Amino acid sequence: MKFARSGSRPKSMLLDMTPMIDIVFLLLIFFLTTAQLARESRAELDLPEERGEQREDVERAGLIISVLATGELMQGDRVITVPELEEIAIAQVVGGRDENGRLVRPLVRADRNAPAERLNEVFNALRRAGTGSARLATSAPRR
């Protein structure tokens, strides 16, 4: 019968940390990339300062249209026309419902220096597409 020496230590299990470190770096790369893409897909606008709605629940963003100071319309990173906006909005009306079955309202981000005529064209195009209502993005007033 063999007895272990009292002075000998039990062998410790080696834990290989390499896979966990790989996963952490992959997640880091993923989040940095998506944050950069989200920043690039938004047009830099000087939004009007208004208090806006003070709601606790967050409404899901559906179609996001940006109206630049020059009057150009952008959806994501591409410039679109009013007829293209109507087609995109019609497609959203067909398939754009939230988890409660309510129609998702489009969000219009208009620069404060954008022509009012162009903003009216956008809202009229959304109305003709059957969206019902739309939201207008604002920035919080500076104090």
Could you tell me if residue 106 is left (phi over 0), alpha (psi between -120 and 50 degrees) or otherwise beta? beta
Q: Decide: helix, strand or coil at residue 82.
A: helix
Sketch the domain layout of the chain as residue ranges.
Answer: 64-136
Model pLDDT, residue 58: 64
Query: What is the mean pLDDT for each group of 10 consecutive residues in the chain (143 residues)?
Result: 62 82 93 75 64 64 83 85 86 65 77 88 87 78 68
Number of C-beta neighbours around residue 12 at 10 A: 6
CA 137 to CA 48: how far, in whole Å?
Answer: 8
pTM: 0.59
Model pLDDT, residue 85: 85
Model pLDDT, residue 89: 82
- Cβ distance 123 to 134 under 8 Å? yes
Model pLDDT, residue 21: 92
Protein fold of 64-136? Nucleotidyltransferase; domain 5 (3.30.420)
Strands 64-67 and 135-136: unpaired
Computed from CA positions of residues 49, 71, 65, 129, in that sequence, does the dihedral angle turn out positive or negative? positive
